[in-house]
Amino acid sequence: MDGGIEAQLVEDTASGETTLPDYLVNTYRWAYLTPASLLLLDNPVVLTAILWGNLPRLVRTACEEFEPGQRVLQAACAYGNLSPELAARLGPRGKLEVIDVAPLQVAHVQRKLSDFPHARARIADATAPGGGIFDAVCCFFLLHEIPDPEKSAVVEALLAAVEPGGKVVFVDYHRARRWNPLRAPMSLVFRWLEPFAYGLVDKQIPDFASPEARSQFIWSKQTYFGGLYQKVIAVRIGDAAIVGEAAPA
């Protein structure tokens, strides 16, 4: 990795100009906060293996929820091709804002978006995303990496970031079906590497919102790969069409 913007942002972080959450530093430094982690983990072969071959499907099912010309917030950087695919989906008349608390990740995704002038990345916490009101929000594999209190804060903030008729799309882990042979191995993965994922096993994503916020949205859920993954859609009650309950896949 060269000495460009990544190096500058890492220097800013080290100098204290950026404050990272303790849970991120203590639990996920190895995955997100070093240049070596970018080289190791932002690899399509590695990512596809981590998601048991489901990365293309999950990226596709997330992106299909958005329309050309929309103004969309992506609530955290993600390894893989989600951001470029989403930017391409929105097209030049749309706008994509990607936020993350880690400067290294922001710099990295900005490079991925260099071919999309209508997309940008900036440093922000998903609990306070800023940027005004959006047509839609994409939250892709963020919730399982943050403690439950932060899950609630993020869900509340993202719901507040869309206008009437707008939607928030969550794609993340889910409680695997009892018959799924990966249920036991994934429990070990969560215990060793993803300790905050249990929140998504024990609770439904809408339950992380307050009753008042939850009541302002129409919710639907679809599961994938024997229940190991989920897509939850929250549409703010307004002029948009109501989304119904989707059948499990």
The count of other CB atoms within 10 Å of the CB of residue 26 is 9
DSSP 31-65: HHSSHHHHHHHS-HHHHHHHTTT-HHHHHHHHHTT
Helix (H) or strand (E) holding 119: strand 119-123
The count of other CB atoms within 10 Å of the CB of residue 11 is 11
243 in any annotated domain: no
193 in any annotated domain: yes
Report the number of distinct structural domains present in the chain: 1
pLDDT in tens, 64-94: 999 999 999 999 999 999 999 999 999 999 9
158 in any annotated domain: yes
241 in any annotated domain: no
Write the DSSP symbol of residue 111.
H
pLDDT above 90: percentage of residues in the chain = 88
228 in any annotated domain: yes
- Mean pLDDT in the chain? 92
| Residue pair 142/173 in contact by the 8 Å Cβ criterion | no
pLDDT in tens, 161-203: 999 999 999 999 999 999 999 999 999 999 999 999 999 999 9
Report the distance separating Cα 115 and Cα 93, nearest Å: 14
Residue 16 banded pLDDT, cuts 50, 70, 90: very low
pLDDT above 70: percentage of residues in the chain = 88
245 in any annotated domain: no
- Of the listed ranges 9-13, 94-98, 99-103, 222-226, the least confidently predicted one is 9-13
149 in any annotated domain: yes
| Residue pair 220/240 in contact by the 8 Å Cβ criterion | no
Mean pLDDT (whole number) for 34-49: 94
| Residue pair 220/244 in contact by the 8 Å Cβ criterion | yes
Residue 11 banded pLDDT, cuts 50, 70, 90: low
242 in any annotated domain: no
Show the domain range for 64. 5-236
CATH number at residue 95: 3.40.50.150
